[in-house]
Structure 1
Amino acid sequence: MPLQPSPLRNFGPGAHLGVKETEAALVEHYPRLVRLAYLTLPPGLGRHRRVLAAHASVQRALHGKARPAPGQGGEGIPAPRSGVRAGDGTNTPAYAAVRLRVVRSALAYGRRPRWWPGRMPAPAVLRPSMPVVRGLRLFPRAGGMDEFTLDRALADVPAAVRAALGLRLLESLSADSTGALLAGAGVADPAGAVRAAAQVEGSDHERVRRMLRSDEFDPCTVQTRPGDLLRRRHRVRAGASALALLVVAGSLALSVGTDTDGAPSVVSAPRGTMPGGALDLAGLVRTPPEQWADTSRVDFSAWPSRGGRADDRELLARALGTWAAPGPDVAVTSTPGTAVVPPSQPPQLLFAGSLGGEGVVLFHDGGVRVVRYAEPLSAEGSPVLDFARADDSDVTTAAALAVSRTGASTRYLLAPWVTVAATRDLLAPGTPARALDVDGDGITAAVPRPEEGGGCLSWPAMQLRSSEKIVEKHAFLVTDLGDLAPVHLTHTPAPGAGAPARQPREATSTEALAGWARTACSLGDLRHSGVRAVNNWQFAVQPLPGTRSTADWVCTRADTWRGPGRVLVQFVPPAASPSARAEVVADRRNTALCSRFGQHVVAGTHWRSPAGSWYVLAAGSRAVERIEVTGSVRGASDGPVLAVRAPRGAAFRVDAELRDGGTMSSVR
């Protein structure tokens, strides 16, 4: 395993610390420094490259000049707060200087030069280099589901926020010291990064601290696996084939001169896939039919190859060739954040068959994408190539893929672990689900699509049940939002008195179906946006003034495959119809609100009572202990709900105090 250290860089002028002092601090605290670097580095590097980059950032910190940390009240790098143990060696100038270099180096991986276009990532030549490990892939040991979810949430925040979180929770620095260190590392808004980090950690600091100290974020305790051996073999074979092709082309170029008109002769090669490459038919991955029932990874990788044309080499060759180089007549679509480049390794064949007047092929490229190729069976029409994200799929989000679509319906290929399929209308919660026909290949009959545009008279969904062979025998709901994979729908009930916080559960109960009947029409705004799952969180129940009725406050959170989420806060008053549409009072994009890492929410709206009086209503989640309304109407209430008489359309602002002493404003 050759390890080639990257070039060392000098991180700026300053007093030069002794090399022995610096080395001693680095070696003594190497694991904690590498963990800090790993947390700060961009998750987009991938776990293998992120591990190597973390070690490179720390080892690079041994070289160059840096200011030693001054005493309390001095300028420059702040000393650790008093909470750090005095005898552990982390309060020395040498350690403070090394830590600053590590943070600065880790931040540099995600930083672009000022002259580089803002929407384009900096090319590799402009980023710090890292060690190279050939033949092995390195991964930190997997933590639990909480650690995995935290890692996904941290992928949505800037590197400076991740660094601030590490300095606060791993290094136990105060907010002021963290801001000063970030400023010394070149962060433009250190105070903003510290505030954003506080929002990520929320009120349960110790729980997040424990997660950050788990194996999930430890790049010193790693697992090793070989690289893609087949891919390496294919690269060697492809290289040999390319070399042979170059030799032949060179020979032809030497033997063929110019013609009688003086125009150069052109030797054209037929278009096709290169033998031994990622798009070679012989390399297509075909999963055994029963593997899904005997694996711990229940996702698209466990799907067997199905369909009546799974052995049609001509169809598969056209599909792979179009994926490699789509022609001008090919309609290419992709969900946001999905790359449309050819695969880097042989893809997995999921389905190949004829359906709805088309020849259809479904591929899975090994963990990141699913791809659908369709060509018309008649001479009319053009091929279609659809790309969608599929990383980190599971029993529910890998339960189906759209195979054929018309304007009014969709036919799906179901996962092999789905044993029962039915359809239901979310706007008719009292109507039982109706059985859905499925053929021997797992293709469903036509499932109605939710209407696009106009009214929202119905909202079709599929109710699926998984097999007991995977110890996941349960029913769940999915619905079509226009992407290849349908969206998983869940429900979080209202908080119980004195009960712990509820967790999302399947939206098949009577309560969940009643909630989705009032909010399903809001899903129309989420079409074609790469949504993975949507959860309805009933975060408050509010008594309505002048009545004996209550209203529900619901936070509808849509999580996308690429990470960022969107939140709709909806007010659900009593209504004569069980499907009367709720009122959307707030819409926030790219937020952690209403997720595991955004557990507090407060919102407000206007409401007219049956007697004709107007009110400002406000409500917050279970941790809200006081609400105050200011503006043209004023009022306050101890507790998570508030109602204040107000003129119609009165301007107002809602603020809340939390049990842990924090404050927050209403979602807008």
Structure 2
Amino acid sequence: MQSQDVAPRPSSSSEPLVDVEQAEAALVEHYPRLVRLAYLVLPPRLGRGRRVLTAHALVQRALPRGSSPAQAIPAQSTGRGTDPGYSYVRLHVVRAALEADRPRAGRSRSLSAQLPPLLPQVWGLRLFPRSGGADELALDQRLAALPGPARAAYVLRGLEKLADHTVREVLDAAGVADPGAALRQADRVPAQYALLESPEFDPCSLQARPTDLMRRRRHTRAALAAAAALAVCGALLVLPGGGWGPDGAAAPAYARNPSAEAALDPGRLVRAAPTAWRTSARLDFSVWPARGGLTADTALLRRALAVWARPGESVRVSATPGTASGGPAGPPQLLYAGTVDHARVVLLYDGLRIARYAEPKDSTAGAVLDLARVDGAAGGRAAAVVLGRSDGNVRYLAAPWVRGAAERDLMKPAAAPVDLGLTDGVTGSLASPVQQTGACASWHVLQLTGASGTHLLTDLGELVPAGLTTGRPTAPHEVSGEAGLRAWAPLACGLAAVRAQGVRSVNTWEYAEQPLPDASGTATWACTRADTWRGDGPRVLAQFRAPGGKYAAVAAQGEDVPDCGARDPHVLAGVLWKSGAGDWYLLAAGSRDTESINASGGVRGASQGHLLAVAATRGAQATLKGTLADGRPVEPLR
């Protein structure tokens, strides 16, 4: 890619004037969007924390000093019209963010956007946006590979909804030498514009983490003697046993702590025997042996442990909801250390969490740390961990008791599985369903076969894949036969609703079959429940599938409810349905122990049993109530 110089362009004297009050009003009204725009255009090499502060500083510096000519470039086509105040502020934000991506040489180049802002400074805290899912991470990496003008073009298209000719005008006014080339380079990134609105790229909704607490505590004491300071530095550089080497992307350590040092010593890593799983009473992560070609690379293991304990500002850290992000309390267990695609990867396990550290093969810059909660995992829930993602594919490390790995399309239950192969426990590449765009036409899952049986696992954008099961909530079973595959086929695309939520397993249960009015065939009702590792916040869907339909429709849904679970294996839901003859009906179904269903409100009717079909009108609103065989009431899922 050719570099594109950025230099301010003079404004025409005929352009409308923008005074301070007009620009300030636009800045205050659209401040969150302007800061997001600056954050996305700023060079990723600044690090997430510095990008946040710099984005806020650039927006706050964008006000004119008096009345300034405004560029005649429209604002976003929806919502802001042609407000010259907003156009002026946006242009100056884009220009300043592009200047931050230029080299510092040359007198004519401004340094104001390249230097860290003097204010605001938040002492004792590191601020950065909330971590998103796999889609946001992939988009951020693609944007980081673009030059500044191309990145600005992509963001103006996606975030500001500007047409290409307007983007050219904004880039030209911001000093880009070749706006057309910037647009062509932006075309290389998939148009996932909706992701730009996600919390991953919101510098106004931040997470806070403390800086090194021991260092701050030490700074509150009286001034230390120079000899004591040198002794502390020497202790950090020359650690016991001849030193462990540099920490790579980890933040600096400032205090000696024997327990913490033991957890960071690669020589103390726990390594299970290769055959430990054969005699163990429990098949879980504790019996995984250390695999991979870099298990003897002490420097790599040291960096992985140090980054886990204290990730630096440049490290991308993600954790499934409910997962603690602190370092290990003691020496963790080594599961894997090796090269995967274009990265060096280390997998560690501390009894409660899996940690994945990854760095480029030729550098320690751009390190990534992923954490996932796995407490209580056994059998199928401890059968695989994500090793790496590349080009929309995912590669897994399988448990030592797994003998075969295959790929299945969940939406084609009759199709034979495709063998993925296993090399030292590493599977071949599998198309990840969370990376697909557009209409949901397939959902590829991982099928593992071994000592713990056959398990079907799906990637939901996290470190540990979620297990898929079928059957009554009190006795779910693995999806291994044709009946289980057929039950999941019309429901597969609904799995997209539970991505990146820390899901442990998803169970689906066909709880009712209902003959339809007008002799239209038989419909099926299914209840799908996603349970998380943390135990709370599951999502429950009641889905209705008409005869001949390829997909099931969501009739009702609820979150953090006991319905359709082991504690309360009951469900009730209803839907308005139009027959082939053009008549509308209220259909409702409960689990088989539902003794009666009553409808009131816009539709009135009652039935004995777990099925209800009542004539209705289009758009009618009804309230459902059910009674179980033991006399207890059951409410519809909501």
Q: Give TM-score, length-normalised by structure 1.
A: 0.57
Q: 1:545 aligns with which of 498, 517, 536?
A: 517
Q: 1:592 aligns with which of 549, 562, 573?
A: 562
AA partner of residue 303 (structure 1): W
Q: Name 1:526's counterpart in structure 2.
A: 498
Measure the CA separation in 2 of the matches of 1:515 and 1:503.
16
1:103-502 superposed matches below 5 A: 253-254=224-225, 256=227, 268=233, 269-270=236-237, 271=252, 277-366=262-351, 368-379=352-363, 382-439=366-423, 441-450=424-433, 451-467=435-451, 472=452, 474-492=453-471
Kept in 1, the 8 Å contact 2:563–2:637? The answer is no
Q: CA deviation at 1:610?
A: 1.4
Structure 2 residue matching 1:397: 3-state secondary structure: helix
Q: CA deviation at 1:369?
A: 0.3
Q: Name 1:572's counterpart in structure 2.
A: 545
Q: Name 1:505's counterpart in structure 2.
A: 477
Q: Name 2:41's counterpart in structure 1.
A: none
Measure the CA separation in 2 of the matches of 1:328 and 1:589.
35
Kept in 1, the 8 Å contact 2:601–2:621? The answer is yes
Measure the CA separation in 2 of the matches of 1:608 and 1:274.
69
Are 1:648 and 2:618 an aligned pair? yes
Measure the CA separation in 2 of the matches of 1:418 and 1:665.
43
Kept in 1, the 8 Å contact 2:520–2:580? The answer is no
AA partner of residue 443 (structure 1): V
1:593-612 superposed matches below 5 A: 593-612=563-582
Q: CA-to-partner distance for each residue in 1:531-587, whole Å, 9 max, x for gaps?
A: 0000001111111111252111111000100002220111111125xxx22111112
Structure 1 residue matching 2:504: 3-state secondary structure: strand
Measure the CA separation in 1 of the matches of 2:226 and 2:324.
42
Measure the CA separation in 2 of the matches of 1:317 and 1:502.
45
Kept in 2, the 8 Å contact 1:274–1:280? The answer is no
Q: Name 1:180's counterpart in structure 2.
A: none
Q: CA-to-partner distance for each residue in 1:346-368, whole Å, 9 max, x for gaps?
A: 100000001111110000012x1
Q: CA deviation at 1:598?
A: 1.0
Q: CA deviation at 1:509?
A: 2.0
Measure the CA separation in 2 of the matches of 1:341 and 1:552.
46
Kept in 1, the 8 Å contact 2:460–2:496? The answer is yes
Kept in 2, the 8 Å contact 1:371–1:385? The answer is yes
AA partner of residue 442 (structure 1): G
Q: Name 1:630's counterpart in structure 2.
A: 600
AA partner of residue 539 (structure 2): R
Q: Name 1:19's counterpart in structure 2.
A: none
Q: 1:639 aligns with which of 585, 609, 613?
A: 609
Measure the CA separation in 2 of the matches of 1:563 and 1:434.
34
Measure the CA separation in 1 of the matches of 2:365 and 2:588.
54
Measure the CA separation in 2 of the matches of 1:379 and 1:389.
28
Kept in 1, the 8 Å contact 2:512–2:525? The answer is yes
Measure the CA separation in 2 of the matches of 1:652 and 1:452.
37
Q: Give TM-score, length-normalised by structure 2.
A: 0.60
AA partner of residue 476 (structure 1): H
Q: Name 1:664's counterpart in structure 2.
A: 634
Kept in 2, the 8 Å contact 1:376–1:383? The answer is yes
Structure 2 residue matching 1:360: 3-state secondary structure: strand
Q: CA-to-partner distance for each residue in 1:466-519, whole Å, 9 max, x for gaps?
A: 22xxxx3x21211100111111001116xxxxxxx9721222222221121100
Structure 2 residue matching 1:405: 3-state secondary structure: strand
1:86-101 superposed matches below 5 A: none
Q: CA deviation at 1:378?
A: 2.7
Structure 1 residue matching 2:597: 3-state secondary structure: strand
- CA gap of 1:328–1:254, structure 2 versus 1, over 3 A, is closer
Q: CA deviation at 1:454?
A: 2.2
Measure the CA separation in 2 of the matches of 1:548 and 1:647.
18
* Identity percentage of aligned residues: 44
Measure the CA separation in 2 of the matches of 1:463 and 1:443.
14
Q: CA-to-partner distance for each residue in 1:607-653, whole Å, 9 max, x for gaps?
A: 11111111000000021011111111100000000101100111101
Structure 1 residue matching 2:427: 3-state secondary structure: coil
Q: Name 2:589's counterpart in structure 1.
A: 619
Measure the CA separation in 2 of the matches of 1:617 and 1:255.
81
Measure the CA separation in 1 of the matches of 2:334 and 2:627.
54
AA partner of residue 542 (structure 2): V
Measure the CA separation in 2 of the matches of 1:274 and 1:632.
69
Q: CA deviation at 1:255?
A: 6.6
Say how many residue pairs are matched: 397
Q: Name 1:91's counterpart in structure 2.
A: none
Measure the CA separation in 2 of the matches of 1:255 and 1:490.
64
Measure the CA separation in 1 of the matches of 2:551 and 2:622.
24
Q: CA deviation at 1:325?
A: 1.1
Structure 1 residue matching 2:366: 3-state secondary structure: coil
Kept in 2, the 8 Å contact 1:323–1:342? The answer is yes
Kept in 2, the 8 Å contact 1:462–1:477? The answer is yes
Structure 1 residue matching 2:278: 3-state secondary structure: helix
Structure 1 residue matching 2:442: 3-state secondary structure: coil
- CA gap of 1:265–1:403, structure 2 versus 1, over 3 A, is closer
Measure the CA separation in 2 of the matches of 1:448 and 1:391.
27
AA partner of residue 490 (structure 1): T
CA RMSD after TM alignment: 2.3
Q: CA-to-partner distance for each residue in 1:70-125, whole Å, 9 max, x for gaps?
A: xxxxxxxxxxxxxxxxxxxxxxxxxxxxxxxxxxxxxxxxxxxxxxxxxxxxxxxx
AA partner of residue 422 (structure 2): V
Structure 1 residue matching 2:548: 3-state secondary structure: coil
Kept in 2, the 8 Å contact 1:335–1:389? The answer is yes
Measure the CA separation in 1 of the matches of 2:624 and 2:265.
61
Q: Name 1:49's counterpart in structure 2.
A: none
AA partner of residue 344 (structure 2): G
Structure 2 residue matching 1:522: 3-state secondary structure: helix
- CA gap of 1:335–1:502, structure 2 versus 1, over 3 A, is closer
Measure the CA separation in 2 of the matches of 1:408 and 1:523.
17
Kept in 1, the 8 Å contact 2:382–2:399? The answer is yes
Kept in 2, the 8 Å contact 1:518–1:582? The answer is yes
Measure the CA separation in 1 of the matches of 2:299 and 2:427.
26
Measure the CA separation in 2 of the matches of 1:359 and 1:311.
13
Q: CA deviation at 1:265?
A: 8.6
Kept in 2, the 8 Å contact 1:452–1:524? The answer is no
Measure the CA separation in 2 of the matches of 1:331 and 1:377.
17
